[in-house]
Structure 1
């Protein structure tokens, strides 16, 4: 095939063209839903501030962590320090690479903000809850008992509660850090794009699951089953989310909070399963893969142990994670269908 016959496109379009279209469409759906129902749009804060601040900040910190050791390894003098920094930055961070990372961050931002707002709109658009059905399913799967009671009796409510709380809350750090690391430190940017796009599809599919079976979760409908648990960071988070929900239900326009309670399906499980599955598929070092698979197992256990989710929410989360990985592989060109012949302009080799 001649050069003229080839369709050569820039890395950001080749990797994130389809994910950007999907996430912008998802964002537009959220904005239209808000306008039609008179609901406010919020940019949900995290522990590092709003997402449009914390995401670039985390990426910048990871970039610094990438550049500094390379500069130090060259042992520059005071006189040559600035020149060395510029040379390393230019070799590592070409404009095509920066543009691709910016497109990935934008895709994630649109998907995440739309997801959080549509989740907050849920009680105003789907006011009939399905918790009673999920409770019955839980008891059937647990042989007639309450699954959380079984876990509390089996595992105890001391060290186990503290450990699983750390596992569950670590998710709040895991998502943004894994996002930044996958884009900044990956020698193969297509792998990073695959992971970031999979996260975006997780938010989209997870939102659909929330609307399919709107539910609150065991902790909010069977609180008595969890009174034996000690106070942990997880219980503080559960109380905070419930207070935010009440504020939003009273008057969504009078608070900056978002409603963040929804049980089916578990996106904690879907996200960490996505990370573990992709680590397995791209053959990351074995200890790292084992650690991620253990993280999946403990996360799934924690969601039921603390009453965030019903048993059925866990396999539903696994299904969403697997489907997201597959859709992202198609969207970023990892999986190519017959007849799809598209060549993406290659990035400069990583130094």
Structure 2
């Protein structure tokens, strides 16, 4: 796992002078600013009724997390009964000002990308009608000979379904935890690559492709296509719900009830699956950082649970998850190539390189 910003500020300042890091953070900032403009344009173009936690809901949650993290240092100083806590806090800010600056750029870029992707998702129906579900159903059937859920429910019973449902439900917490990890990482090359990947995953997969490939997923086929194809799956989940709570039903009801508004975490979109995309990104990051084997194992288990749960709980087609995996791999690889090119330019620009 990337270390929290404890390195000397002088060393970080020297590293920030390298073209690779400057261009990387400039790109993160540029994407964040473009996302901000995109949010404003969408708000002007599309009429989404306001809700109490709408619009910048994700930003509000992230800001609360950042505020709580900012309180940690003052609390530590008070607990240790530091004789001059305010002076020490001011000295800390001065000493870590470059690290704080990179944290701010990463935080801004991440939150704004998520905000625009969320706005785009909530506005899909005003751009074009949902149309693509039959194609993804046909893909799954051609690949598997049946709908994916028929295989998972033949193997996984009610208790296993309940466990997967619980893991699926904490995805937002995992997403927020990933943001904190990326923002506070002291490894700048890793931070640039991972933040860019996160931004582009949300924007390309969660915004652009979700709009182009407008689909609702198995759970909403009856509501939007008047199709009972997945009625057996929904009936199966209802039977399990009588034994163990299936919390996904609450989320489905929320999405339907807030459809067409700017509700927090609202909007209906199946292709591609951001749940699968972010879970897979956690795996890539865990292995990239050479994290402890326990963390890498947990990341793989969680990813597997999300991938299986996406079809098992009627949220997605298998095609949605496969597209997400391919998309994240492509973005991660491209951002890796970019950081390596910039790093090579950095080495060539050093005085001792000649």
> TM-score w.r.t. structure 2 length?
0.78
Q: Which residue of 2 aligns with 1:175?
A: 175
Instruction: Go from structure 1 to structure 2 and tell me whether the alpha carbon gap of 1:23 and 1:7 turns closer, same or farther (over 3 Å shift).
Output: closer
1:296 aligns with 2:303: yes
1:209 maps to which residue?
A: 209
Counterpart of 1:265?
A: 272
* Residue 60 of structure 1, CA deviation: 3.2
2:60 equivalent in structure 1: 53
TM-aligned CA distance change 1:112 to 1:342, over 3 Å: farther
Distance 2:129 2:57 in 1: 28
Q: Cα deviations across residues 143-174 of structure 1 (Å, max 9, x unaligned)?
A: 2x332133112211x21121111111111111
Q: Which residue in 1 is equivalent to 2:89?
A: 86
CA deviation map 1:101-150 (0-9, x unaligned): 1111111121111101111111111214111121122222232x332133
Pair 1:265–1:87, CA change in 2 (3 A): same
- The 1:112/1:79 distance shift into structure 2, 3 A limit, reads closer
Question: For 2:314 and 2:272, how far apart are their aligned partners in 1?
Answer: 13
Map Cα deviations across residues 55-102 of structure 1 (whole Å, 9 max, x no partner): 122123334457766x59xx94x36362795388348x6111111111
Task: Work out which of the residue numbers 99, 102, 106 in structure 2 matches 1:100.
Answer: 102
Is 1:318 paired with 2:319?
A: no
Q: For residue 9 of structure 1, report the CA deviation from its aligned partner.
A: 6.6
How far, CA to CA, are the matches of 1:100 and 1:142 in structure 2?
46
* Partners of 2:153 and 2:312 within 8 A in 1: yes
Following superposition of structure 1 onto structure 2, how do residues 188-337 of structure 1 map, counting pairs within 5 Å?
Answer: 188-206=187-205, 207-221=207-221, 222-224=229-231, 225-229=233-237, 230=241, 231-245=245-259, 248=260, 252=261, 259-329=266-336, 333-336=339-342
Task: Specify the SS of the correspondent of 1:214.
Answer: coil
**CA distance, structure 1, for counterparts of residue 309 and residue 344 of structure 2:** 43
Distance in 1 of aligned mates of 2:268 and 2:230: 15
Counterparts of 1:326 and 1:44 in 2: how far apart (Å)? 39
Q: Is the 8 A contact 1:16 1:193 kept in 2?
A: yes
Alignment of 1:19-30 (within 5 A): 19-30=28-39
Distance in structure 2 (CA, Å) of the matches to 1:267 and 1:256: 18
State the secondary structure of the residue aligned to 2:162. helix
- Would you say the 8 A contact 2:57–2:265 is kept in 1? no
Report the counterpart of residue 6 of structure 2 in structure 1.
none
8 Å contact 1:273–1:318 — kept in the other structure?
Answer: yes
Distance 1:342-1:183 versus aligned 2 partners, 3 A rule:
farther
Looking at structure 1, the residues matched to 264 and 114 of structure 2 have their Cα atoms a distance apart, in angstroms, of 15
- Could you say if the C-alpha distance between residues 33 and 182 of structure 1 is closer, same or farther in structure 2, counting changes exceeding 3 Å? closer
1:154 corresponding residue in structure 2? 155
Q: How has the CA–CA distance of structure 1 residues 239 and 40 changed in structure 2, closer, same or farther, with 3 Å as cutoff? A: closer
Deviation at 1:18, TM superposition (A): 0.5
Structure whose residues are more often helix by fraction: 2
Q: Distance in 1 between matches of 2:96 and 2:59?
A: 23
Distance 1:298 1:171, change over 3 A: same
- SS of structure 1 residue aligned to 2:282: helix
Q: How large is the Cα RMSD of the aligned pairs?
A: 3.4
Q: Count residues with an aligned counterpart.
A: 320
Q: 1:32 aligns with which of 41, 44, 56?
A: 41
Between the aligned partners of 1:244 and 1:171, the Cα distance in structure 2 is 20
- Which residue of the other structure, out of 25, 31, 34, is the alignment partner of 1:16? 25
Compared CA separation, residues 125 and 8, structure 1 to 2 (3 A): same
Cα distance in 1, alignment partners of residues 162 and 264 from structure 2: 27
Q: Gaps (5+ residues) in structure 1?
A: 1-5, 345-351
Which residue is 1:3 aligned to?
Answer: none
